[in-house]
């Protein structure tokens, strides 16, 4: 079972990823976590990525695709924060085909803009100041939102109401996974 969790920054992808990982015993591949680990380790890649992440822009497709390639496994994967561009989605499809794997479901967490800004300000991460938040939302709408259509056309998209209590949202996801 391979699942993608999609949604604006602050939509609750991290929290609901953990739920899906426990439910289906998946390996968590979060490109954001990988990039933060690179920053923590002060690698050259980390240094380059940090300046981009601090503005809320996306790091290059080639970097994240390479990181995903290096960690691909047949055990079942939860993709979190990847893909984020159409090019990344197409590259992921190619990678899946080449490895005889496939994406089974794409969970889209839908949350109001206002709620997203409140959640992100509350979480207080380094790249969560108000200017960056606004830019990250714009980047999401311009570069990532087209993936909704992409996966809808593949009949893989499940739209989940991401408003409300964490457990309620998890139950909605669990229901959508009964296919």
Nearest residue to ligand AMP, using CB? 32
C-alpha distances out from residue 49 to 45, 60, 123, 134, 137, Å: 6, 9, 21, 19, 18
Q: Which residues bind ligand AMP (CB under 6 A)?
A: 9, 31-32, 35, 52-53, 56-59, 64, 81-82, 84, 88, 136
Residue with smaller CB distance to ligand AMP, 37 or 166: 37
Rounded to a whole number of angstroms, the minimum distance from the CB of residue 12 to ligand AMP is 12
Q: Of 119 and 136, which has the nearer Cβ to ligand AMP?
A: 136
Q: Is 100 left (phi over 0), alpha (psi -120 to 50) or beta?
A: left
Calculate the alpha carbon distances from 79 to 129, 161, 172 in Å: 25, 19, 19
Cβ nearer to ligand AMP, comparing 55 with 175 = 55
What's the min distance (Å) between Cβ of 142 and ligand AMP? 13
- The answer to whether the CB of 64 falls within 8 A of the CB of 88 is yes
């Amino acid at each position: 079972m391979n699942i993608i969790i999609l949604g604006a920054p602050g939509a609750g992808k991290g929290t609901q990823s953990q739920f899906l990982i426990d439910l289906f015993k998946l390996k968590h591949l979060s490109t954001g976590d990988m990039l933060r680990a690179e920053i923590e380790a002060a690698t050259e890649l980390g240094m380059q990525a940090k300046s981009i992440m601090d503005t809320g822009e996306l790091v290059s497709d080639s970097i994240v695709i390479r990181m995903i390639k290096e960690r691909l496994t047949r055990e079942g994967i939860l993709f979190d924060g990847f893909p984020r561009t159409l090019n990344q989605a197409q590259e992921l499809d190619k990678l899946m085909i080449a490895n005889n794997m496939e994406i089974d479901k794409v969970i889209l967490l839908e949350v109001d803009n206002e709620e997203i800004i409140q959640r992100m300000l509350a979480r207080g991460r380094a790249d969560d100041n108000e200017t960056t938040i606004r830019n990250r939302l714009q980047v999401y709408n311009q570069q990532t939102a087209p993936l909704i259509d992409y996966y809808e056309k593949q009949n893989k998209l499940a739209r989940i109401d991401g408003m409300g209590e964490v457990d309620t949202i998890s139950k909605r996801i669990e229901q959508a996974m009964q296919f």
